[in-house]
């Protein structure tokens, strides 16, 4: 008994060690389970894209922010994120003219390069932004078709052979350049969709469908939905304020079907850095009617950003990828707009301007890229804020 009593402290220490070790192992397992659950939740998404009478799953895009020194964030409302909230990151770009003019041919024109380059080449330097957001929207400003029977539309060339007119067409498979680059949706409401008549228009729709790119135009709204919050993208042409009542009708109709209404419009005077008075007034009327965000293109150059009654307008996103000529104005942006949703209600939103080049060679190499030079970026930031007259 005395010997047993002498060994008792050692027995107590050993038992304590065993209990502590078992507890530690259980705690480690619990942490590993928690870590796995967090990783799984972060990498899995459940969102959908709908439009054009179809619905497709979109589960591959990350919700992580893609930030670098090329961006400038401007908040319209304070950002708030809680365990009951989630974010939707939208990216917007301007004209994507992935074709060559009917009456133009030169060495390394867009269509020739598309014949020899992999489709990933064109958006290679910017696609990380589009593949890591929730939804990317741009403008498709050319026809995609393989038909040999298409004829150019009448743009006055029959009455005046010297009229300045352009017709842009690329083979149908080149629509895959957009989806490969991470573009989810395009507007086809513009002045080039009918370059080859209604047949070319229909061929373009089919090519975009095959490439997995949603398209919108008058009477065909595109929807993006995430965790029950539904966004309507209303794609329209607006070359004057006469169409404003019709666009307001679209907004009022979509308010019944969705939680957030975006106007993506094509219009205005080309090569002007300042929006016309009519265009400013028209956008203000659309916001007064309920539009939640307005993005414009068509001028082929940038125009500034405005926040009117708490709603962001970008009057022109400019060219993004432009097959029209060798030397377009070489400044553009990616605009990212992030919505924070709490209990299925918009609680905050903020915008981010990402300055880009339209091309990165001595002449147009059909490959936009993010600008790294600080002075060049600041010129674009200041222009988009309306502080200067030019982004150059």
Backbone dihedral angles phi then psi of residue 263, each to the nearest 5 degrees: -100, 120
Bridge partners (DSSP) listed for residue 295: 264, 314
Q: How many other β-carbons are positioned within 10 Å of the β-carbon of residue 139?
A: 28
Instruction: Please tell me the predicted confidence (pLDDT) of residue 22.
Output: 43
47-384 classified as CATH 3.60.21? yes
pLDDT (tens digit, 0 to 9) for every residue of the chain, 392 residues total? 434 444 444 444 444 444 444 444 444 343 333 333 323 332 333 367 766 433 333 333 333 333 344 677 765 565 555 668 999 999 999 999 999 999 998 999 999 999 999 999 999 999 999 999 999 999 999 999 999 999 999 999 999 999 999 999 999 999 999 999 999 999 999 999 999 999 999 999 999 999 999 999 999 999 999 999 999 999 999 999 999 999 999 999 999 999 999 999 999 999 999 999 999 999 999 999 999 999 999 999 999 999 999 999 999 999 999 999 999 999 999 999 999 999 999 999 999 999 999 999 899 999 999 999 999 999 999 999 999 999 99
| pTM, 2 dp | 0.84
In sign, the C-alpha dihedral spanning 48, 255, 311, 320 is positive
Contacts of 363-366 with C-beta under 8 Å, sequence gap 24+, read 363/326, 363/327, 364/322, 364/325, 364/326, 364/327, 364/328, 365/108, 365/113, 366/98, 366/110, 366/113, 366/121, 366/122, 366/321, 366/322, 366/323
**Residue 314, CA distances (Å) to 9, 242, 286, 369 in order:** 78, 20, 13, 20
Instruction: Please tell me the predicted confidence (pLDDT) of residue 49.
Output: 72
Instruction: Please tell me the predicted confidence (pLDDT) of residue 48.
Output: 74
How far apart CA 369 and CA 360 sit, in angstroms, is: 7
Instruction: Please tell me the predicted confidence (pLDDT) of residue 294.
Output: 99
Q: How many other β-carbons are positioned within 10 Å of the β-carbon of residue 9?
A: 9
Is-contact 200 316, C-beta < 8 A? no
Q: Of 200, 213, 138, which Cα lies nearest the Cα of 169?
A: 200
How far apart CA 375 and CA 389 sit, in angstroms, is: 16
Bridge partners (DSSP) listed for residue 136: 91
**Residue 192, CA distances (Å) to 37, 74, 144, 166, 188 in order:** 49, 33, 11, 8, 8
Give the tokens for residue 278: 């009519």
Backbone dihedral angles phi then psi of residue 121, each to the nearest 5 degrees: -60, -40
Instruction: Please tell me the predicted confidence (pLDDT) of residue 74.
Output: 64
Q: Of 112, 134, 76, 120, which Cα lies nearest the Cα of 308?
A: 76
Q: Is 231 helix (H, G, I), strand (E, B) or coil?
A: strand
Burial of 280 (0-12, 13-18, 19+ CB in 10 A): middle
Give the tokens for residue 68: 């670098």
Helices 244-255 and 277-288: crossing angle, nearest 10°? 30
CA atoms within 13 A on the CB side of 359: 18
Quickly list H helices, the chain: 2-43, 110-116, 127-131, 176-180, 197-211, 244-255, 277-288, 374-384
Question: What order do you get walking across the sheet with 168-170 strand by strand?
Answer: 100-101, 168-170, 143-144
User: How wide is the angle at C-alpha 61 spanned by C-alphas 310 and 235, nearest 5°?
Assistant: 50
């Amino acid at each position: 008994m005395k010997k047993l009593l002498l060994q008792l402290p050692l027995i107590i220490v050993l038992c304590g060690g065993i209990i502590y070790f078992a507890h530690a192992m259980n705690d480690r397992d619990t942490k590993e389970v928690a870590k796995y659950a967090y990783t799984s939740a972060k990498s899995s998404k459940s969102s959908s894209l709908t439009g054009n009478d179809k619905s497709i799953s979109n589960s591959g895009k990350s919700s992580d922010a893609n930030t670098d020194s090329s961006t400038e964030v401007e908040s319209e409302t304070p950002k708030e994120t809680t365990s009951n909230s989630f974010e939707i990151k939208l990216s917007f770009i301007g004209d994507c003219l992935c074709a060559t003019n009917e009456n133009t041919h030169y060495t390394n024109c867009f269509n020739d390069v598309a014949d020899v380059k992999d489709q990933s080449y064109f958006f290679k330097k910017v696609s990380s932004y589009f593949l890591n957001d929730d939804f990317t929207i741009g403008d498709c400003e050319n026809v995609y078709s393989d038909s040999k029977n298409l004829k150019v539309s009448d743009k006055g060339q029959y009455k005046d052979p010297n009229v300045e007119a352009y017709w842009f067409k690329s083979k149908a498979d080149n629509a895959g350049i957009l989806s490969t680059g991470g573009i989810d949706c395009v507007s086809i409401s513009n002045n080039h969709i009918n370059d080859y008549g209604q047949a070319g228009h229909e061929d373009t729709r089919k090519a975009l469908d095959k490439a997995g790119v949603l398209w919108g135009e008058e009477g065909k709204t595109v929807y993006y939905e995430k965790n029950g919050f539904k966004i309507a993208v209303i794609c329209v042409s607006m070359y004057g304020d006469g169409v404003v009542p019709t666009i307001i009708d679209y907004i009022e109709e979509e308010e019944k079907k969705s939680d957030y209404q975006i106007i993506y419009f094509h219009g205005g005077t080309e090569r002007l850095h300042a929006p016309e008075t009519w265009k400013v007034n028209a956008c203000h009327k659309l916001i007064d009617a309920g539009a939640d965000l307005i993005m414009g293109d068509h001028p082929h150059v940038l125009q500034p950003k405005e926040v009117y009654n708490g709603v962001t307008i970008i009057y022109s996103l400019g060219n993004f990828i432009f097959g029209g000529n060798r030397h377009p104005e070489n400044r553009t942006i990616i605009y990212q707009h992030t919505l924070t949703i709490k209990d299925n209600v918009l609680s905050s939103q903020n915008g981010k301007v990402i300055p880009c080049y339209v091309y990165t060679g001595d002449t147009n190499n059909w490959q936009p890229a993010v600008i790294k030079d600080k002075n060049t970026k600041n010129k674009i930031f200041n222009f988009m804020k309306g502080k200067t007259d030019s982004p150059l």
